[in-house]
Amino acid sequence: MNNSELTLSDCGAIVLIGGYNRRMGVAKATLRIEHQTFLDRIVQTLRRLALPVWLVTGVNSSAIDYPACVTVVRDEYADRGPIEGLRCGLKVAKNTVEWLFVTSCDAPLLHPAFVRLILERRAAHLDAVVPHSGTHYYPLNAAFRTTALGPIEQQIAAGNFSLHALLQGVRCCQVTLETIEQVDVQLDSLRNVNSPQDYQRLLEDLADRQRK
């Protein structure tokens, strides 16, 4: 079966929106590119692949407007970081799909072709598919199988909330940046906006692209 024939019928997506936004000062999900919020852009990209989408919010997250086409889930415990959102998302979605593409609300330039590339690397002998630069993992631009839920819960019970540590304990396929560049030349999908300076640079870069 070639890639064009592969379906994503056993796949869904998780968008984590539960961070504290300390550096940004406002909810990153509500930031805008032109007239569209980051969250709306990300969900629209995922829905273009017909993926069911679960939004995972923090225990104390401020209320925002959520797209009507998503299912909203809340972290069960505070102060565990993104691994708690991943756990809760997998826990809720496991009866619907087997694989979940996982991203966060600060990655507004997510490309559908990148999401498909990651999900098409899924296999029965794997628990995760993760971009890797050679020195750095991108666990919030990755795919996790529901079989990862057990290792996640064991690691949390041991008091370890590191996603990078998780990747050392599950069966993982690494996808190189060179492979990703074949479908996302500028690696936009891996670009995160974590501060006002990041946001300003993003807007300036997009404006420059439009002028070229």
What is the per-residue pLDDT across 129-146, written as a single tens digit (0 to 9) for each?
A: 999 999 999 999 999 999
* Residue 53 pLDDT: 98
Contact 130, 173 (CB under 8 A): yes
Q: What percentage of the chain has pLDDT greater than the value 90?
A: 85
* pLDDT for the residue 27: 86
- pTM here is 0.93
Q: How confident is the model at residue 62 (pLDDT cuts 50, 70, 90)?
A: confident
Whose CA is closest to 128, among 111, 143, 108? 143
The residue to which tokens 């396929």 are assigned: 173
- For tokens 């991203």, what's the residue? 103
Helix (H) or strand (E) holding 54: strand 53-57
Q: Which stretches does DSSP call E strand in 78-154?
A: 99-104, 128-132, 142-145
Q: pLDDT at position 21, please?
A: 65
Average pLDDT over the chain reads: 93
Q: Count how many Cα atoms sit within 13 Å of the Cα of residue 12 in the half-sphere of its side chain.
A: 22
The whole-number pLDDT of residue 5 equals: 45
CATH topology of domain 10-211: Spore Coat Polysaccharide Biosynthesis Protein SpsA; Chain A (3.90.550)
Tell me the per-residue pLDDT of 138-177, one tens digit each, with 9 for 90 and over: 999 999 999 999 999 999 999 999 999 999 999 999 999 9
Domain residue spans of the chain = 10-211
140 three-state secondary structure: helix
DSSP-derived 3-state class of residue 4:
helix
Q: What's the CA gap between 193 and 198, in Å, rounded?
A: 5
Segment 33-57 shows an average pLDDT of 96
**Whole-angstrom Cα distance, residue 129 to residue 109?**
20
Whether the pLDDT of residue 24 is over 80: the answer is: no
Convert the pLDDT of each residue in 90-115 to its tens digit. 999 999 999 999 999 999 999 999 99
Which residues lie across from 32 on neighbouring strands? 37
Tens-digit pLDDT profile for residues 2-22: 344 468 999 999 999 976 667
